[in-house]
Amino acid sequence: MKITVIGTGYVGLVTGACLAEQGNHVFCLDVNPEKINILNAGGVPIYEPGLKEIIERNLSYGRLIFSTDIAAAVAYGDIQFIAVGTPPSEDGSADLNYVLQAAKQIGQHMNRFKVVVNKSTVPVGTADKVTEVIAQELLNRGLPSENFSVISNPEFLKEGAAIEDFMRPDRIVIGSQANAAGYAAKEMMKQLYAPFNRHHERTYYMDVRSAELTKYAANAMLATRISFMNEIANLADVLGADIESVRQGIGSDSRIGYSFLYAGTGYGGSCFPKDVSALAKIAEHHGQELKLIKAVEEVNEAQKNVLVKKITRRYGEDLSGKTFCLWGLAFKPNTDDMREAPSRVVIRNLLMRGAQIRVHDPVAMTEARHAIQLDMADQTELLQYLSFHEDPLVAAESADALLIMTEWKSFRSPDFHSLKQSLAHPVIFDGRNIYDPQLILDQGFEYEGIGRKTVLESGYLKGFELLQNQSLNHAVTGQMTQH
């Protein structure tokens, strides 16, 4: 099939490359000529494992075209994917300007029946707006205004695992209109996704608005699980419980499961923060208040500062003269995405308290420099106290503590002996709970994770056990004396 993908951001690029990998011929459009030049040269402007290889392969086969030519792009594909950005507006709602502009361009250039697919994450009702924009452009050209159909086909891609998610999806959601054009569009989408349904049917067909809401509801549910677990982890810290034991205890319940039950420093990225906020705004616009969703947002924003609170509790509010090493800057492993990354909040707060910071990330250093410069635009003089290091052990040199901000695999089993020698003080604040606390303590480090207080205070627990043993001995001795 001939496909057009409008937008070569994260979703558009993965969608176009993966559809080409299935044998389709795909025309990818972007208004940024610099990005198109990079792609035509075989480069990739984002980091996603496996994506570069797929793009290079399909460029060589002639199944991928990258261009800025709008008219050619609309003429090319029978199916037109809109995969442009929907950034948050100032009030948190989704900005649809790019989506509606893409729809307008389709209406201005189309000359035969087109299936227009909303792949971008958009508020409920967007398909109606896209339909209105295209129909108006066709009327302006004196053409039939019903010679197209708008489909909602939300993406469910995890950054760092997007290729696997696209090629082996849990589900494919297709929302179509209930008319003749909608039926034709549904059949074309069924043909497009047939290779993904060979072994069992993964596609769920529904009306357009249900499909649009499904995307927001899915991300909101996952974000809710994360915030819930972080709340319980913070309570575990206070109660002296171990969140890892709690996670296993509740995750073993088949009704709950283990996914997204890991405590940490909060979620970030391009999806959860934006989509949770947008869902709340959608509800407000329709006179509804999603109290749970608002609480999820509030918990997450507070959780981004959980390590800062632990640090100031130990060292005081004034961190002048202290040096901290951060391992991990991206919001999650296997990506260079710095959008809403908790590391940005931590870095700013530590710099504002007078600390020096040394950082390392396997792939996100370039994006991090730009993001942190934006964050510190009002305090640029503090950037002199921030340094970037390609070697994680060099980054740790003379630091008073190591902070784990991203759970990269390369951080899981470092040379602890060398790490201990590099640090000025063997202290680890584990914001992702990637280490076994007892193992770290046995290596001679002080350790604090998120909700791992039981193990952290092992000295207290050992003392408590000693008192128990002493009491037991006294009791036995007393009984023997009485006898």
Residues for the chain: how many in total?
A: 483
- 362-387 pLDDT, tens per residue? 999 999 999 999 999 999 999 999 99
The mean per-residue pLDDT over the stretch 37-55 comes to 93
Determine the Cα–Cα distance for residues 388 and 360; give it in Å rounded to an integer: 6
> How confident is the model at residue 94, as a pLDDT?
87
Q: Other C-beta atoms within 10 Å of 238: how many?
A: 9
Determine the Cα–Cα distance for residues 116 and 130; give it in Å rounded to an integer: 9
Helix/strand/coil for 429: strand
Q: Cα 323 to chain center, whole Å?
A: 29
- C-alpha closest to that of 82 among 65, 64, 70: 70
Instruction: Kindly list the catalytic residues.
Output: 271
- 383-438 pLDDT, tens per residue? 999 999 999 999 999 999 999 999 999 999 999 999 999 999 999 999 999 999 99
> How confident is the model at residue 461, as a pLDDT?
43
- 195-236 pLDDT, tens per residue? 998 878 899 999 999 999 999 999 999 999 999 999 999 999
Q: Which CATH architecture has domain 2-207?
A: 3-Layer(aba) Sandwich (3.40)
Q: What is the C-alpha R_g of the chain?
A: 26
> How confident is the model at residue 221, as a pLDDT?
97
Three-point CA angle 336, 338, 344, nearest 5°: 135
Per the prediction, the chain carries an average pLDDT of 92
Determine the Cα–Cα distance for residues 24 and 36; give it in Å rounded to an integer: 20
> Would you state the structure tokens that stand for residue 45, as one six-digit string?
């402007």
The mean per-residue pLDDT over the stretch 56-84 comes to 96
Does residue 467 have a pLDDT over 60? no
> How confident is the model at residue 472, as a pLDDT?
47
Render 342-353 in DSSP notation, one character per residue: HHHHHHHHHHHT
Does residue 117 have a pLDDT over 90? yes
> How confident is the model at residue 276, as a pLDDT?
95
- C-alpha closest to that of 125 among 281, 233, 256: 281
> How confident is the model at residue 454, as a pLDDT?
55
Determine the Cα–Cα distance for residues 330 and 303; give it in Å rounded to an integer: 16
- 258-285 pLDDT, tens per residue? 999 999 999 999 889 999 999 999 999 9
Determine the Cα–Cα distance for residues 6 and 311; give it in Å rounded to an integer: 46
**Domain ranges within the chain, ordered by starting residue:** 2-207, 304-451
Render 50-79 in DSSP notation, one character per residue: THHHHHHHHHHHT-EEEE--HHHHHHH-SE
Amino acid found at 84: V
Does 304-451 carry CATH code 3.40.50.720? yes
Determine the Cα–Cα distance for residues 217 and 223; give it in Å rounded to an integer: 10
Lowest mean pLDDT among 85-89, 161-165, 297-301, 321-325: 85-89
Instruction: Please give the share of the chain, as a percent, with pLDDT higher than 90.
Output: 88
129: left (phi over 0), alpha (psi -120 to 50) or beta: alpha
Helix H or strand E segment including 446: strand 446-448
Does residue 457 have a pLDDT over 60? no
The b-or-e profile of 402-440 (16+ CB within 10 A means b, else e) is bbbbbbbeebeebebeebbebbeebbbbbbbbbbebeeb
Burial class (CB in 10 A: 0-12, 13-18, 19+), 194: exposed
